[in-house]
Amino acid sequence: MKIGIISDAHGNLEALTTSILFLKDKTDFLAVLGDTVGYGPNPEECINVVVSEANLILKGNHEEGIITGNYRAFKEAARIALEWTEKILSDNALTSIKNFKEKDEMDDVLFVHASISSPLFKYILIGKDAKEEFALLDKSVCFFGHTHMPVGYRKNQEKEQIETIPSDFSGRLKIEISPGYKYLINVGSTGQPRDGFPFACVSVYDTEKRLFNLYRIEYPVETTRQKILDRGLPSILARRVYQGI
């Protein structure tokens, strides 16, 4: 099976639809790892797209914020965008996100938004963070997002050392899943990358070849940037999608 994986679309309809179109003829299954809303100008439309297209949908901390109405943990720009998002979402969209799972699995693969220990909130930023998660991983691979930074971590099941697998000079990532190892793989962000590349992160995992590829896809980012400004959302959010920061 070939699994398409996207995460952190964040209301960016142009990035989301371009990414799903890219995956259409390359995958048999689509997993969405949360934060479909927040930051971006088209939260309702993005929810409708993932509900229509995805086979597995998780919620992230931004969906959780809308569900609970608790925005205390969010920085100002994120909070403003979430308050705006909450006001414009339809009842159907709100019902949909309430039904999104915190984590899910398929065969030897685990899917979470942020981490195994805290599926919605904890950031895996360095090897030390990954080490704590490997202790909880009972599958060969865990895919996650949340940080908006594509990267892989690998651990030999008989050793304590954690290896970091960085993305290449163009922001892409290729990982062969080897026997005797466990992997934590961050699939980056489809709608708001923060690694200096403004292109959407889109991933494919081939379960038979045990091969993971993260691609970077161009989309009409200027359209998204202008929508953010037209909606009256914080200008830093427009700058972020345009610059990939």
Instruction: Determine the pLDDT at residue 160.
Output: 85
Dist. CA 53–CA 24, nearest whole Å: 10
Dist. CA 103–CA 235, nearest whole Å: 32
Dist. CA 56–CA 144, nearest whole Å: 13
DSSP 8-state assignment for residue 203: E
> Which tens digits make up the pLDDT trace of 42-55?
999 999 999 999 99
Overall pTM surpassing 0.95 (yes/no):
yes
Q: What percent of the chain has pLDDT over 70?
A: 100
User: Can you say how many angstroms the Cα of residue 171 is from the centroid of all Cα atoms in its chain?
Assistant: 15
> Which tens digits make up the pLDDT trace of 126-165?
999 999 999 999 999 999 999 999 999 999 988 889 999 9
Instruction: Determine the pLDDT at residue 122.
Output: 98
**DSSP 3-state of 132:** helix
Q: Answer yes or no: CATH 3.60.21.10 is held by domain 2-243.
A: yes
